[in-house]
Amino acid sequence: MFENYFFYKDGELYCENVPIKELAKEVGTPFYLYSKKAIEDKIKSYKEAFKNYPTLICYAAKSNSNLTLLKIFQKNDLGLDTVSAGEIYKGVLAGFSPEKIVYAGVGKTDREITYGIDKGIFSFNVESGQEIDVIDYLAGKLGKKANISIRVNPDVNPKTHPYISTGLRKSKFGIDIEEAVKVYKKAVKKKNLNVIGVHCHIGSQILDVSPYREAVEKVADLVFQLKKDGIELKYFDIGGGLGIKYKPEDNPPKPKDLADLILPIVKETGLQLILEPGRSLIGEAGALITQVIFTKNKKDKHFIIVDSGMNDLIRPSVYDAYHHILSVEKKNKDVVADIVGPICETGDFLALDRKIDDVERGDYLSVLSAGAYGSSMSSNYNVRPRAMEILVDGDKFFIIKEREDYDYLVEKEINPFKNLKNKI
């Protein structure tokens, strides 16, 4: 499906120049596999699209926060969009300058805010009036000034899954755009804050860019209104959300499409642009490689049971998401099957009623477009170690996260009765 990065050669699936079957035999399954070239090509297409306008592209760490992957983005001069102090921590560890880190989220704790102020991050993207008061107070306590942008909710429908629609009035994110002027007027009076920008993020997996225009126009109107009121901003952060190809027939917009649509509007404001793409930078670059444990035929259904499930990739269960799945070795025959994991939940599936090569016990499958919101949303449910992560670069591969082991899984547990030998 992604001809340059994951493709068949003589009936065998490759990631760049690495044959996946051999790799799987060597390291065991399941594992996430990423193509370095795919990531770098995506970065290039963003940079190219926005090269004629001052733009900071902040990779959204929540889509995949593996340190080696973060490092690739950092080395390519991107900034980082974070939603927790943990992500700021990983970003700094990966080498990001705090001056390129933005931080959004409706529920930043005092500890997290203090951490961000202390590190000197570029901007807190604040989501409520109360948060403004708290950041001002905590900055004062530290004797520092904090930069803030206000996240406004432009009330546009991104036409994506409800769970990842974030710019509607009823959603928990941002402040209502009608309230914004009032909130800005309050914020600029705060002694310990620099009010530097405006932020919005309307949703994720957006396949039609027109909602961006609506959102950016509404926010631009706000910028003009603020100017009239004597409040000058510097940054216009439009968030992330560009969709990717999950189904072979998907035709997602490119960074260039977004640039063509929004740059004319942003230019008029004179503000510098900030983007926060996550999925569209890393999603298509990754696959989840899993092995078939068993197949079984029930009366109405054929099941392919694999060694990876909702603990590794929860998107099918949570969002009803489609992931294209390829057999690592092409077969001559197809079946229609439910491809399910080992977790004890009916919701534990990677695909339902899917036409797929007639794979057997021991064969490998590759779940495509799993680079974003795959490993970062994985869990240890059913006491399953999280999957290994591997980066491919040409004909080389690097393990960038080891498979967790059982000792690691129990490391933090404490037995309060350990002196009471018979009690446990």
Ligand X SMILES: *Cc1c(COP(=O)(O)O)cnc(C)c1O
Beta-carbon contacts of 46 under 8 Å, excluding residues fewer than 6 positions away, are 57, 255, 275, 277, 280, 281
Select 24 or 164, whichever has its Cβ closest to ligand X. Answer: 164
Select 81 or 131, whichever has its Cβ closest to ligand X. Answer: 81
131-190 binders of ligand X (CB under 6 A): none
Active-site residue flag, 15 = no
Q: Closest approach of Cβ 32 to ligand X, in Å?
A: 16
Q: In the set 116, 158, 197, 240, which binds ligand X (CB under 6 A)?
A: 240
What is the distance in angstroms between the CA of the first residue and the CA of the last residue of the chain? Answer: 53
Distance (Å, whole) CA 55 – CA 57: 6
Q: Closest approach of Cβ 104 to ligand X, in Å?
A: 4
Select 226 or 274, whichever has its Cβ closest to ligand X. Answer: 274
Q: In the set 91, 167, 197, 241, which binds ligand X (CB under 6 A)?
A: 241
* Residue 323, amino acid: H
Q: Are 24 and 15 in contact (CB under 8 A)?
A: no
Select 240 or 255, whichever has its Cβ closest to ligand X. Answer: 240
Give me the catalytic one of 15, 58, 200, 344: 344
Q: Closest approach of Cβ 164 to ligand X, in Å?
A: 7
Distance (Å, whole) CA 423 – CA 417: 7
Identify which of 39, 164, 64, 29 has the alpha carbon closest to the alpha carbon of residue 375. 64
- Any idea of the CA torsion for 128, 134, 138, 140, to the nearest 10 degrees? 100
* Cβ count within 10 A of residue 231: 15
Class of residue 311 by CB neighbours under 10 A (exposed 0-12, middle 13-18, buried 19+): buried
Q: Closest approach of Cβ 262 to ligand X, in Å?
A: 15
Instruction: Kindly state whether residue 239 participates in binding ligand X, applying the rule CB under 6 A.
Output: yes
Q: Closest approach of Cβ 225 to ligand X, in Å?
A: 23
Site string for ligand X, 35-64 (x = CB under 6 A): -------------------------x-xx-
Q: In the set 65, 147, 204, 375, which binds ligand X (CB under 6 A)?
A: 204
Select 240 or 286, whichever has its Cβ closest to ligand X. Answer: 240
Phi–psi pair at 62, nearest 5 degrees: -65, -20
Q: Are 229 and 181 in contact (CB under 8 A)?
A: yes
Q: How many CA atoms lie within 13 A of 209 on its CB side?
A: 19
Select 165 or 308, whichever has its Cβ closest to ligand X. Answer: 165
The angle, 0 to 180 degrees and rounded to 10, between the axes of the packed helices 255-269 and 210-228 is 10
Contacts with ligand X by CB under 6 A: the residue count is 18
Residues 12, 35, 312: CA angle, nearest 5 degrees: 85
Report the DSSP pairing between strands 235-237 and 101-103. unpaired
336-395 binders of ligand X (CB under 6 A): 372
Q: Calculate Rg over the CA atoms of the chain.
A: 23
Distance (Å, whole) CA 364 – CA 289: 7
Select 306 or 372, whichever has its Cβ closest to ligand X. Answer: 372
Tokens of 14: 């490759």
Q: Closest approach of Cβ 62 to ligand X, in Å?
A: 5
Instruction: Kindly state whether residue 285 participates in binding ligand X, applying the rule CB under 6 A.
Output: no
Tokens of 296: 């079984």
Q: Closest approach of Cβ 54 to ligand X, in Å?
A: 19
61-90 binders of ligand X (CB under 6 A): 62-63, 81, 83
Cα 318 from chain centre = 15
Instruction: Kindly state whether residue 286 participates in binding ligand X, applying the rule CB under 6 A.
Output: no
Select 174 or 341, whichever has its Cβ closest to ligand X. Answer: 174
Q: Of 71-79, 106-114, 240-248, 293-301, which segment contacts ligand X by CB under 6 A?
A: 240-248
Q: Of 180-188, 239-247, 252-260, 347-355, which segment contacts ligand X by CB under 6 A?
A: 239-247
252-281 binders of ligand X (CB under 6 A): 276-280
Q: Are 303 and 337 in contact (CB under 8 A)?
A: yes
96-135 binders of ligand X (CB under 6 A): 104
Q: Closest approach of Cβ 48 to ligand X, in Å?
A: 18
Torsion sign over Cα 161, 162, 168, 173: negative
Catalytic positions, written as ranges: 344
Under the rule (CB under 6 A), what is the footprint of ligand X? 60, 62-63, 81, 83, 104, 201, 204, 239-242, 276-280, 372
